[in-house]
Each structure stands twice: as structure tokens, then as C-alpha cells.
Structure 1
Amino acid sequence: MPEFQAELVRALPGTLREHSVRRGGKTAYRDARRAVTYRELEERTGRLAGHLARLGERVAVHLGNRVEVVEACLGALRAAAVGVMLNTGASESELAHFLDDSRASVVITEVELLPPVLRLVSTRPGTRVVAVGRGAAARDVLDFEQLAGTDPGCPPRDDLGLDDPAWILYTSGTTGESKGVVSTQRSALWSVAAAYVPAYGLEERDQLLWPLPMFHCYAHSPCLLGVVSVGAGAYLLERGGNVAEALSAGLTEEPFTMVAGVPATYRLLLDSLRRTPATMPSALRVCVTAGAPCPGELKTEVGQVLGAPLLDGYGSTETCGRIAVDRLDALDRLDASDRLDAADPVGGLRDRDSSVPGSHPRPACPPSSSGPRGRCRACRSCGGRPGRAPMTRWTSPGVT
């Protein structure tokens, strides 16, 4: 398989425009409600960006597994705003922390999730709410469909640099309070060019079944950035959906070639097939897992039942993607191991953690750097909070 694909590390708006011309009629994303082609994705995110640019510099995306989560994330990027990915299952107090920590000026959520969002926004003047779903206008909030479907009177900015802050994703909080990790397009796309294409063979013809929450880095990296970068397609399965049923149901025009999950996903899939046998798509060529150690016996059983190898990987929110991955072209040395000793490290990541000898941490921005509306004049790495240490940031080569 090819090694590092440098041409994939480029600003996504240009990639979207190219896909719109070359494969505009192809379905990019689909869920149980609707689908969007690459032409529609480019047009809708462009219109959304024009509207969002007037609303603020931080856009919180509080959406489940649906096409709009992709549109919101790309729309914020095209507005040169920072997209803040939020867990729809977060408690109200957790959500309050995320909004305050990120200083989001816009929250894009679902009509069903509006009550806690509206309560929190009521005490945060200037924060606007955009809702997805029927009845948004009746709740005195902005209607997502209207923003994505109407001309804002200006083109999308599309000028966010590769090394400008593009997204904030929060860690799981297993070692303490969840921390916001700032990623750039370059650092986030690094896993696509260094792991998903070389190790998994991700390409335009692939159809990915994605059953995991889209707010997480594991989803943001391959399902959003990977799929869009190569012009592939993906189906976003609702949280708690049956993966075995989805694989056998023919939910997309083309059969699934890839499925992702965590080890528990595959255990549930195998249990479901034991109870209710079903035919798996013959086009399925690879299964990927991460998030927890994957036992060797699970890899073996998945390979036998699904007819496709299960590749393990290790990553973190701080690295914006993968650190080490199993490779399709190295199955002979993986030998169904439940360890990652045989996995290939993803090259090029640099550790900015000040606790690591030889690293180069960013100093805290001085309080005197505060500009209009309290925003830091010097940079955006401090989260717009002068005097505080910068958010965690791991970067790829070329990021200063």
C-alpha cells in the first residue's frame, strides 16, 4: 500500500469544491432520515458558513449521529470559526462547563435537546442557538435548515489556514476534568494521510458504516476527515443501533466495505448474529477498532464470521487521531495478537507536553494581551482566556 499521502493534507474547503465538480452526484453521508451528495454538501456548508460567520468565532456542535453533524462541523470550518464538538449525552453541568470553557458563541443542537441548552444560554448573553428538526422556529431559535438552505448574501470565507485552530474536542475525563484539545486542519488530517489511507487502504470506493458517537475524536478523524478527504461515503448509525442488522440491510446504494467500532461493538455484533443469523456484505474488506484493547480471540472470530480482518489501533484526543495502527499489508505478523507490539506507529507527531523532556511548550498568554470582548490579541491557543495556560495541543510536522 502507498505510504504517507502528503496531498491529502490540505484545506478541506478546496477538497469539497473538487468533490462537488468531480463526484457531485455521489452520496457523501446518509442516516436514517436523509442523505447528502457531495455537491449538496459543498453548497449547504457554504451557505451555512455565510450565516455562521455573522454569529461568532466559536460554534458548539451538539448533535447526534445525523447528516447535520457533518454539515455543522464543515460549515463552522468554512466560516473560519472554531468548531467545538460536544457530547449529546453530557449532563447539564458538564454542558455548562464545555460552553464556558470553549466560550462558544453559537450552539447547534437538536430540537429534542433544546431544554437544557436554552436554560444554559439564558444565563449567557449573546450566545445564539441553532436547532435541527421540526419546530425550531416556534422555539425562538434559528432554524438550521433555513441557514443551510438560504443565500446568506455572502460567500463562505474558506480562508482558515492549515495551522489555524479549527476544532476543539474534549477528552473523556477519565483522569480528571475533561480538557479541550485544540486541533488544526494539518494535525487532524495527519492521521488520514499517515494511517487511514496507507494502513487501511481507505479510498473513494469505500462505504463506511459508523455506529459510534460523532462528537468523539475517533469519529471526527476517520468518519469525517477521512471520508471527506478521499471522497468516500459513510452511513451514520443512530446511537444504540444494531450493527449486524445495518450491515445486512443494504442501507446504501453500494454495499459496505468498512465498519468501525470498539471491541464491545464487535462483541454485540457477534452476539446478534448468533441469535439471528444474517448474510454479511461480501464487499466488506476491513473492520477497525480502537478505544480499548482488542483481544486476539475477538480478532479471530470477527475475521471468521465477517470474512474481513479486524484491525486494532491506538490513538488519543490529544494527537487528533492515531498513534499506532495495524496494517492490512502486515496481517501475517499481527497473528491475531491482542497487543499492539506489531502495530506500526504513525509517523510525524510531536509532543508539546511540557512534562516531556525536550518538548517546547507554549507559555500562557499574558493578561495584558486581552483585546476586544476579552479575546486574546496574540493567538487563539489559550482558548481566548489570557492569563491561563494553553489548551493541550499535539501537532504534526510543520505546525509551530
Structure 2
Amino acid sequence: MPVRTIGEVPYLNALYYPDKKAIVDPPQEFTWAQVNERVNRLANGLIGMGCRKGERIAILSYNSPQFIETIFACAKAGLIYVPLNFRLSLDEMKYILNDSTPTTLIFGGQLVEVASALREDFPLRFVSMAEDLGWARGYEALLRSGSAAEPSEALAAEDDPAEIFYTSGTTGFSKGVVHTHRARLKGALNCVIDGELNFDDIYLLNVPALCHAAGWVWVLANSMVGGSIVISRLRGFDPEVILRTVEDRSITNLQMVPLTIMELIDFADKGKYDLSSLRMIFYATAPMPAAPLRKALSLFGNIFMQPYGLTETGPNVTCLRKKQHSIEGLSDETAAKRLRSCGRPCCGVYVKLVDENGREVPPHTVGEIVVKSTDMMTCYWNNEEQTEKTLRDGWLYTGDLATYDEDHFFYLVDRKKDMIISGGLNIYPAEVERVIHEHPAVAQCAVIGVPDERWGEAVKALVVLGSERQTSEDEIINFCKRNLAGYKKPRSVEFVSELPRNPQGKILKKVLRERYWAGRERKI
């Protein structure tokens, strides 16, 4: 019988590989039998606490074994997990809680102050992954209260909603992306196929965090094959620590963003570490410049893969697999083109490019990427208008523009939507603009992404001041920092007398971007 729900993954691993190392969080180590028992106890503990099928459970934590256990426990109990990005401002978290209406918040011990602040406005059940706090029940105590037996099979079904991952929205507010158990498992299965994952793999969970769909889906994929997960508690990126961990823990799989790969190259080049266990580095979220990618291939060998996708798509749409990174024997022109590609469609994913009238375009013609698969989201939570705009006639409209060739390799060209990807993190200009417009000195503003050698793209704000108003670049940046997650704040602010607009009054961001992106083949 095939796996139907996410909660069956730890159950089957405990059944077939009970003593296999599952999660390593130095110095702690858990086997699959131990993980499954803890997951069962947590699921039954949540049910005993009053949680009922279909309720939302918010999770606020850094990467940890408890985060993984909580997701699996929610899946077994028929609950819908809602990860909160710990980088968000308090107001952004409050918006998500108001929208998703969870009954319980489970939070990490290092985020007690944030949870306490949220408690003032939300009468939820609180569970602390650290000790009992009086107002928050202790995680381990909750586990002890629950039975080790499997929860009832009737609590979750494959087409039930499993998760809501909030992604920044072009409207300026986050949208809750809903995936069923079936969709998330299919998305993870594509990771297994494209990454050629196997039982002996040891995956280092460093970036992205589990509060991102891309972080969770690869943990699930490695779990589906009975692999092991090593958790890095780094808050940022330290290449020396990563390489030492690869050597000490015989890591086979790493997930990175182009920025961190470029930083890794400088350390790996020293030949100081034994990296012979590494068999795959997969990178995503931003384009990888050709020169450092070629250097990475020469240093590490042909172990790279690049998936492309969105939170909404499950996530992977296309993938440039390891063997497709092989450029040996190709002409310089062909090799350069291949490495610019985001690959071919993943298993069971229909991909086509359409023009503004929805007509499919031929090869070498720019069109919007639209997708159809069982991996896709069901809807945006509580947002019928945006759901109808994104899901049309069974196809998901991504807002990303691309071309493809006769071999069905796809090439990203630009972003129809205005999303900025800086250091592997998604930033929507509308969110930043909404905050800047609240500054009393600002009359108009536009936020764009500009090229940045370190971050890929950097957030830039172009601001028109109000009559007889004054402010400074530092003041605008600090104002944003106080009201947004730190990574969303502008890295530069330019004051202008006016912003270019079309006859309908819409700001022409393409015009604004042109002078920064001029001469570059890719504008993404």
C-alpha cells in the first residue's frame, strides 16, 4: 500500500529501520524508532490537550528535532501545521496568526520573548520546546502525557490539508499556501527522484530553515528513503563550520544558495577538509553566475543539481540534474547556455509557456511559466481572489518569464511579478513599499531589485519626498528595519523628483530597473 499521509513516513521507517539513525542534533541522536515514538506521544498529547482535526498549529522555532517531530505529529493527528518564519517582525507574525487562526503555538526556547509578546494578543495554547513556563506547557511534559501508540488512522487522509506556508505577496500581505498530504508527498518524491536520494544519505540541514517549504520538503524527501538528517544550529552561514561538519559527519547531501556556494569555494580550495563523502550539492532560490559555478564544478566535481520552483508549485517545477551539469566536450557557447538553464520538467509536472492571452508560445520565445501537477497547492488560505488569479483552468500561473529550447530545457529570463531574491530569501517590493509609505516624509516610492555581486539582488528604494519634507537614507532604512524583517529592508535609498508612470498611472518598474540591469542577459 503506498504512503498516503506524511505521518506514515516515520511509522514505516520505525517499522523497517528501527535502529537506523534518523536525526542528529549534536550531541543528541535519535533512531527512527525513537523519533516515531516521540511523534506518537506528541500527537496523542496534542489530542489530549484538546486539539481537533483540521485545527491549525503554529510553529515558531529555529531548526531542531522538535520542529521535525511537531510537523510529523500534526500530520498524524490530522492537524494543519503553520510554520512562522522567525525572521519576521512581530506585526508580520500577528498578521499570519490572525489569518490562519491557530489554536496552539509551539515555540523554541530561544524565542520565548517573541512568543510572550504574541501571547498578549492571542489567547492560544502555548507549548515551550524548553521548560514549562506556567503560561506555556513544557514540550517534554506534553510528550510524557501522550500514549506511544499510533493515533487513529481516521485522523488524517491524503487529500486533507497538511500545511499552510505563508509566502510574501505582491499585494503587500502574506498569502497562506495550502498543500494536502498527497501534494506534499508527491513534491518530496520528485526531490527523491531528481536528487537520486537513497537509504545511505546523510543530509545536512543548514539552509533554508524548516519554516520555508524548500527546507521542509528536502527533510521529508530524505526521510522517505530512510536517510539521516544532521541539524546545524548555525544562525547564519560559516563555510568553515559547514566543511568541518561534512568531514566529521560524512555528509552526503547539502542544500545551499548560490551566495553560500561562492563563499564555500574559497575555503574548499584550501584542500583542508576531506569532502569525499559529498555526492550532491543542490542550489536554488537564485541564479548561479557561470564563473563561480564552473569553479565549483572543478573543485567538487559533477555533484550539483538546480531545481526551480515556487512554494505554490510544491515546490519543484524543473530541475537541472547532476549529469546535465556535465559540460565536458561541449563548446564554450553550449556549455555556458546549459549552465544558465533551470533544467527540464520534473516527473509528472506539465510545464508550458504562454503569452498574455494564454496561448502557448514556441521555443525561444518569452512566455509566462504555467504548471499543472499533483504537487501544486490547493488554494491560498482565506484568499479566494488571489487563488482565482493564480489557478486557472487547472494551471498554476507562476508569474515568472522564461524561454525553452527544442530539447525542453527552460531558461529563466525575468520575473513577471516583482519579487526580489536577495541571498536566497524572497522579498516582495509591495511589502517594503507599504512600510515606506507609512513614513511621514514620503509621498511616493518604488522598490526594485538591483544587481549585487554578493547577494544576487539587493533591495533598492526610490523615494519621492512630500512637499517641504526632509529625511535621510539611514532614516528610511532604519524605519523599515523597525517594521519589517531585517533582510527585507532596503540596502540603498535614492531620492528622486518623480517616478516614471504609464498613462494609467502605474509606476514603470521595468524602466526603473533598466539602468541597473543594462547589459546583463538575465534580469532575475
**What's the TM-score, normalizing by structure 1?**
0.80
Q: Secondary structure at the match of 1:24?
A: coil
Q: Tell which deviates more after alignment, 28-37 or 311-320.
A: 28-37
Given the alignment, which residue of 312, 317, 324 partners 1:318? 312
Find the counterpart in structure 1 of residue 407 from structure 2: none
Q: What CA deviation, in whole Å up to 9, does each residue of 1:3-34 have, x standing for no partner? A: xxxx8763233332221022111121222452
Describe how 1:273-288 pairs up with structure 2 within 5 A: 273=268, 277-288=271-282
How far off is 1:273 after superposition?
3.7
Matched, 1:257 2:252: yes
Matching residue's letter, 1:279: Y
Find the counterpart in structure 2 of residue 132 from structure 1: 129
Find the counterpart in structure 1 of residue 114 from structure 2: 116
Instruction: Quickly say closer, same or farther: Cα 1:8–1:270, change in 2 above 3 A.
Output: farther
Does the aligned pair in 1 maintain the 2:41–2:143 contact within 8 Å?
yes
Instruction: Quickly say closer, same or farther: Cα 1:392–1:83, change in 2 above 3 A.
Output: farther
Matched, 1:214 2:210: yes
**Structure 2, unaligned stretches of length 5 or more?**
328-333, 360-369, 371-377, 395-524
Find the counterpart in structure 2 of residue 187 from structure 1: 183
- Find the aligned partners of 1:265 and 1:130 in 2 and give their Cα distance: 34
Given the alignment, which residue of 211, 227, 230 partners 2:225? 230
Q: What CA deviation, in whole Å up to 9, does each residue of 1:333-373 have, x standing for no partner? A: 694644225x111243479xxx99599xxxxxxxxxxxxxx
- Find the aligned partners of 1:20 and 1:163 in 2 and give their Cα distance: 24
Matched, 1:162 2:158: yes
Q: Secondary structure at the match of 1:318?
A: helix
Given the alignment, which residue of 197, 202, 206 partners 1:202? 197
Instruction: Quickly say closer, same or farther: Cα 1:152–1:281, change in 2 above 3 A.
Output: same
Q: What CA deviation, in whole Å up to 9, does each residue of 1:47-83 have, x standing for no partner? A: 1011222235111111111111101111111110000
- Find the aligned partners of 1:180 and 1:350 in 2 and give their Cα distance: 24
Describe how 1:55-94 pairs up with structure 2 within 5 A: 55-56=51-52, 57-94=55-92
Matching residue's letter, 1:182: V
Does the aligned pair in 2 maintain the 1:183–1:393 contact within 8 Å?
no
Q: What CA deviation, in whole Å up to 9, does each residue of 1:278-307 have, x standing for no partner? A: 213212111100000112222222222233
Instruction: Quickly say closer, same or farther: Cα 1:350–1:181, change in 2 above 3 A.
Output: farther
Given the alignment, which residue of 234, 242, 247 partners 1:246? 242
Find the counterpart in structure 2 of residue 330 from structure 1: 324
- Find the aligned partners of 2:349 and 2:17 in 1 and give their Cα distance: 32
Matched, 1:291 2:285: yes
Does the aligned pair in 2 maintain the 1:315–1:321 contact within 8 Å?
yes
Matching residue's letter, 2:341: L
- Find the aligned partners of 1:347 and 1:356 in 2 and give their Cα distance: 27
Does the aligned pair in 2 maintain the 1:311–1:326 contact within 8 Å?
yes
- Find the aligned partners of 2:357 and 2:205 in 1 and give their Cα distance: 35
How far off is 1:309 after superposition?
2.3
**What's the TM-score, normalizing by structure 2?**
0.62
Does the aligned pair in 1 maintain the 2:175–2:380 contact within 8 Å?
no
Find the counterpart in structure 1 of residue 516 from structure 2: none
Find the counterpart in structure 1 of residue 457 from structure 2: none
**Matched-pair identity in %:** 25
Find the counterpart in structure 2 of residue 340 from structure 1: 341
Given the alignment, which residue of 2, 11, 15 partners 1:21? 15
- Find the aligned partners of 1:12 and 1:139 in 2 and give their Cα distance: 32
Q: Secondary structure at the match of 2:11?
A: helix
Does the aligned pair in 1 maintain the 2:206–2:231 contact within 8 Å?
yes
Instruction: Quickly say closer, same or farther: Cα 1:61–1:204, change in 2 above 3 A.
Output: same
Find the counterpart in structure 2 of residue 4 from structure 1: none
Higher relative contact order (CA 8 A, sep 6+): 1
Does the aligned pair in 1 maintain the 2:203–2:228 contact within 8 Å?
yes
Matched, 1:101 2:99: yes
How far off is 1:137 after superposition?
1.3
Find the counterpart in structure 2 of residue 45 from structure 1: 39
Instruction: Quickly say closer, same or farther: Cα 1:273–1:252, change in 2 above 3 A.
Output: closer
Matched, 1:304 2:266: no
Does the aligned pair in 2 maintain the 1:80–1:157 contact within 8 Å?
no
- Find the aligned partners of 1:233 and 1:392 in 2 and give their Cα distance: 40
The list of structure 1 runs, each at least 4 consecutive aligned residues, that deviate by more than 6 angstroms after superposition, is: 386-389, 391-395
Describe how 1:330-369 pairs up with structure 2 within 5 A: 330-332=324-326, 335=335, 337-340=338-341, 343-349=343-349
Q: Secondary structure at the match of 1:123?
A: coil
**Structure 1, unaligned stretches of length 5 or more?**
1-6, 360-379
Q: What CA deviation, in whole Å up to 9, does each residue of 1:312-335 have, x standing for no partner? A: 121111012101111234344694
How much is the aligned-residue C-alpha RMSD, in angstroms?
3.2
Does the aligned pair in 1 maintain the 2:302–2:326 contact within 8 Å?
no
- Find the aligned partners of 1:49 and 1:169 in 2 and give their Cα distance: 20
- Find the aligned partners of 1:309 and 1:235 in 2 and give their Cα distance: 19
Q: Secondary structure at the match of 1:100?
A: helix
Does the aligned pair in 1 maintain the 2:304–2:322 contact within 8 Å?
no
Does the aligned pair in 1 maintain the 2:245–2:251 contact within 8 Å?
no
Does the aligned pair in 1 maintain the 2:6–2:185 contact within 8 Å?
no
Greater CA radius of gyration, 1 or 2?
2
Does the aligned pair in 2 maintain the 1:318–1:392 contact within 8 Å?
no
- Find the aligned partners of 1:63 and 1:278 in 2 and give their Cα distance: 33
Does the aligned pair in 2 maintain the 1:169–1:180 contact within 8 Å?
yes
Q: What CA deviation, in whole Å up to 9, does each residue of 1:120-140 have, x standing for no partner? A: 223223x1111112xx31343
Matching residue's letter, 2:74: A
Find the counterpart in structure 1 of residue 423 from structure 2: none
- Find the aligned partners of 1:391 and 1:176 in 2 and give their Cα distance: 18
